[in-house]
Amino acid sequence: MNSLELEQFENQLIPLRKKKSRMRYRVAVIGGGTWATAIIKILSTNLEHIHWWVREPEIVEGVTKYGHNPLYLSSVFINPKEVKVTQDIRQAVAKADYIVIVSPSAFLHKTLEPLQKSKLNRKKIIIAVKGIVPETMQVVTEYLRTQFSIPLGNMAVVSGPSHAEEVSQEKLSFLTSASTNSDLAETVARFFKNRYVRTSVSNDIMGVELAVVLKNIYALGAGIYSGLGYGDNFIACYIANCLKEMKRFVNQMYFREERQLSDSVYLGDLLVTAYSKYSRNRMFGNMIGHGLSVKVTLLEMKMVAEGYYASRCIHEINKEEQASIPILEAIYNVLYENIPVAAEMKRLSEYFI
């Protein structure tokens, strides 16, 4: 059997399947890490036109030549005919109507620096990054609104209990699209919905975004306690107290009577980030709990733990808000004030109920 006959024979073994029609929206993804790669995988099932900005030349070469991101989630296949990868952020943004921001918030200011306001403020912005922009001490929606004049109604936040590693394995995950613009929220939910991702919509964009910031810090605290040798019984109590504090702080910042923090986008995301083996924030805290210094931990981590940067930002924001957030302040003290880890976390535990 020659090669042509073999190919024809193998094709006969593949069940005939009608190709799913994909939406023709033009979308650009900004960021090249694990979550960005997982998002590319999700969007590729639904969209025809995807442009992907990454910083690293290795990713450009890996995708264009071999169909893989060699640095993150390298097992995920990325069709270079369908996903156009580039190191030119201006080019990626110019070719899209919807911009998905996945670049870590700690570096977002520098990432977006080459863009003129006029090139971004006419776009619909989908925020899939979890943190605060340290240069301005703002959540990402506020940063984009003030720095790029993007109306809040042109922005959506995508969040939920969904580690990139499990998404890459097509394990069932849940995401929420939050926006004050109900049409935009529904459109974004359609972008992300597929066989292994279920989506819902919300209009609590600010509450969702702030809760996402806080859960990363709380997960870091869970890692610290685990590293110190505290058990699951205690950590379950710790997380229950975190949820109370989260509710208090989020409601003080953005009051909303009907907000239910038991929803998966709040509580579910907190739980998976605090407990999962894939959680970078838990891993960061665990290393601190085991006695590594913050400096060494930052050097050892190969990916960004947003909770580290966010804890300082929340501390600064709370100087004005004056909310009661003892858990967040204790974690800040450990990370930035060189307070002995074991003593500070033991002191904090005395207040839990």
> In 145-224, where do the E strands start and end?
155-159, 173-178, 197-202
Q: How many residues does the chain have?
A: 353
Q: Within 13 Å and on the Cβ side, how many CA atoms surround 171?
A: 9
Distance CA 330, CA 339 (A): 9
Query: Residues with Cβ < 8 Å from 68, sequence gap 6 or more?
Result: 62, 74, 75, 76, 77, 78
DSSP assignments along 202-239, one per residue: ES-HHHHHHHHHHHHHHHHHHHHHHHHT--HHHHHHHH
Distance CA 252, CA 163 (A): 29
Dihedral angle, C-alpha 96, 101, 107, 109, nearest 10 °:
60
Q: Which residues of 276-309 are buried (b: 16+ CB within 10 A; e: fewer)?
A: beebbbbbbbbbbbeebeeeebeeeeeebbbbbb
Distance CA 98, CA 100 (A): 7
Distance CA 15, CA 283 (A): 43
CB 44 within 8 A of CB 82: yes
Give the residue numbers annotated as catalytic, written as ranges.
Answer: 215
SS3 240: helix
Tokens of 267: 């509580």
Distance CA 130, CA 140 (A): 8
CB 94 within 8 A of CB 123: no
